[in-house]
Amino acid sequence: MNLEHKLEEILMRVEKPARYIGGELNSIKKNTSEELTRFAFCFPDRYEIGMSYMGLQILYHHLNRTDHTYCERVFAPAADMENEMRQANLPLFTLETKTPLREMDIVGFTLQYELSYTNILNMLDLSGIPIRREMRDETSPLIIAGGPCAFNPEPLADFLDVVLVGDGEELLPEICRRYGLWKRSGLVKEAFLKEICTLRGVYIPSFYEPFYSDEGLYAGYQKRIHEAPDRVLKAIVSDIEAIDFPVKNIVPLIEVVHDRAVVEIFRGCTRGCRFCQAGMIYRPVRERSKETIHKLALEQLRNSGHQELSLLSLSTSDHSEFEAMVTALMEDCKREQISLSLPSLRLDHFSFKVLEEIQGVRKSGLTFAPEAGTQRLRDVINKNLTEEEILSALDQAIDLGWNSVKLYFMIGLPTETQEDLDGIVDLARHIMELAHKKSDHNKGRFNVTVSVSKFVPKPFTPFMWCAQDTTEAFDQKHFYLKDRLKKIKGVTYRYHDSFTSHLEAIMARGDRRIGALLYAAWEKGCRFDAWTEYFRSDIWKALLEDYSIGTNHPSVSEIPTDAPLPWDVIDCGVSNAFLRQEYESALKGYATPDCRYGCNDCGINAYTPCPWGGVL
């Protein structure tokens, strides 16, 4: 019985079979041939999550517009589907042609979050592809990965052949083109790896050997071959206005997390929040013009039939032509009865005018991200937002009819004190008092949701040297906030499990030895670790004890600012000198201004033109 016949039988017994059948509007079918490089884009989570990721649509478009590569999609099967596949001995396959993953030329994973790592191992195993790199031979597919977590690839280094660091629109098609030429050359795989390791943004883990001190601390790396660069500089698309952007996006067959048309309006951020990895690794800011954004949005809506449009960026209202761009889009959306979603707004007068117009009478909740409860701590993390600005914005919002607000905070931030926790409570109370003061009608109707996450130190941030709170400390802080906030009528408190944040830090700052922990966790059944219903804390806790990963482990404890770091082999374009300077400023409580108002000399303009940088 062939794969498709087996699949037909299985799909009758699983939830949401449309996750596995492909054939969606705007998906690509090509005539497969030996000349084509067959590329499997693997998202290590369910279809509903992966199909909401705009990066998949972008790279799918860029690869399939070439005449040398065919890109197909693969998602992690849900637990019921995995069980059926293993019982039927059915290998993991692509959606477009139902080709077993082990028969593809290149299998590429996107690394969006650390808690998906065990899914990567599981997908390889489901495919019949040896998980460890050293066990694969010349007939095995090339296993590659990219995405934000690729800026510290070391925990996955033993499982990956190639890591792509930075922007992929130009680099990935070039890798695939060269693979096609190599495939016909008859040379061994190492020859291909030696060729591509000279490309900007390409890291070959097997070409570097980490070493450790007598105390077991990471001490640096040495190159195994002279062709490998001393450090791997990220790939950068200098002009995203000139780069093609997809307008015929695949339309999912089932409801997904973000089911809408999406246009990336700019890449990067200038605000410099010291805990934020994205704000550092995606520098410099590169914008699309308002005319291009308008054109792309209308084409995407026309080709997809979506009834909602969202603008994608780290801080939407920082676009230099924001007001004119949004005004024009609102006119078109209103005429076509399209819902316009504008995340990450700076809530000033114009933004409220926009929200008033696009939300009308039925107003959804407002969202603010103060991140810290006091001005002192907001200065430490460089969150340039004052309590006065928050209350002023809420004052306008209440006048315009909003009756709910969600506040995002982070606990465990460097230098945090009890006073900072109290500040979270005080801010929620002040907002409720303001709402009641504005109108007796709001009493009992206005509500505040306080949502709290945990600080996780990430590579290439000014806080990458900082310790993370223990899970016990996090839990104590949660209980403290919960007890105090429940006394304020109209306030809801939300938080998540502390142990998953502890694991996230271990994987985010871990060295190559963390790979053994990941493999052991997968062997014991861990997968979908970001999903509460599948997370096996008992297994993970036992393994951390087995591998002697406690509160003094380098991945969660304080690191000296002059110590070698597992991700030193990667160069994100922002200098360690700048990050160290920002860390010192944080400890002194000094804020750094948004670099739109003057270059802060982060180092990125040494590699690519920065709108606010010095002369190259």
Taking only the tens place, the pLDDT of each residue in 221-246 is 999 999 999 999 999 999 999 999 99
Instruction: Quote the pLDDT of residue 614.
Output: 47
Asked if residues 237 and 47 have their Cβ atoms less than 8 Å apart, the reply is no
Q: What values do phi and psi take at 292, rounded to 5?
A: -65, -45
pLDDT tier for residue 334 given thresholds of 50, 70 and 90: confident
> How distant, in Å, are the alpha carbons of 91, 168, 267, 400, 572 from that of 43?
16, 15, 22, 42, 23
pLDDT tier for residue 416 given thresholds of 50, 70 and 90: very high
Indicate the fold that domain 3-233 takes in CATH: Rossmann fold (3.40.50)
Using the 8-state DSSP alphabet, how is residue 186 labeled? T
On the question of pLDDT at 43 being above 90, the answer is yes
Strand bridging mode 308-312 / 261-264: parallel
Could you give the CA distance from residue 567 to residue 149 in angstroms, rounded to a whole number?
11
What burial class does residue 297 get, using C-beta atoms within 10 Å of its C-beta: 0-12 exposed, 13-18 middle, 19+ buried? buried
Q: Where are the domains of the chain?
A: 3-233, 260-360+595-616
525 contact partners, CB below 8 Å, separation of at least 6? 536, 539
Q: Assign 3-state DSSP to the chain and report helix, strand, coil percentages, each to 5.
A: 40, 15, 45
Instruction: Quote the pLDDT of residue 441.
Output: 59
Taking only the tens place, the pLDDT of each residue in 101-135 is 999 999 999 999 999 999 999 999 999 999 999 99
The tally of CA atoms less than 13 A away on the side-chain side of residue 323 is 7
Q: Which has the closest alpha carbon to 591: 443, 377, 382, 378?
A: 382
Distance of CA 524 to the CA centre of its chain: 27
Residue-wise burial string across 56-88, b where 16 or more C-beta atoms lie within 10 A, e elsewhere: bbbbbbbbbebeebbbbbbbbbbeebbebbeee
Enter the pTM of the model.
0.95
Using the 8-state DSSP alphabet, how is residue 377 labeled? H
Using the 8-state DSSP alphabet, how is residue 77 labeled? P
Tokens representing residue 282 in the block: 């995606």
Tokens representing residue 144 in the block: 């590659």
On the question of pLDDT at 429 being above 50, the answer is yes
Instruction: Quote the pLDDT of residue 21.
Output: 96
In single-letter form, the type of residue at position 473 comes to A
Taking only the tens place, the pLDDT of each residue in 270-283 is 999 999 999 999 99
Most confident of 29-38, 76-85, 341-350: 76-85
Asked if residues 372 and 407 have their Cβ atoms less than 8 Å apart, the reply is no
**Is domain 260-360+595-616 classified as CATH 3.30.750.210?**
yes
Could you give the CA distance from residue 57 to residue 150 in angstroms, rounded to a whole number?
19
Task: Assign residue 365 a region (left: φ > 0; alpha: ψ between -120 and 50; beta: otherwise).
Answer: beta
Distance of CA 393 to the CA centre of its chain: 29
Could you give the CA distance from residue 123 to residue 101 in angstroms, rounded to a whole number?
9
Q: Which has the closest alpha carbon to 84: 20, 157, 162?
A: 20
Tokens representing residue 125 in the block: 């195993």
Tokens representing residue 281 in the block: 């690794």
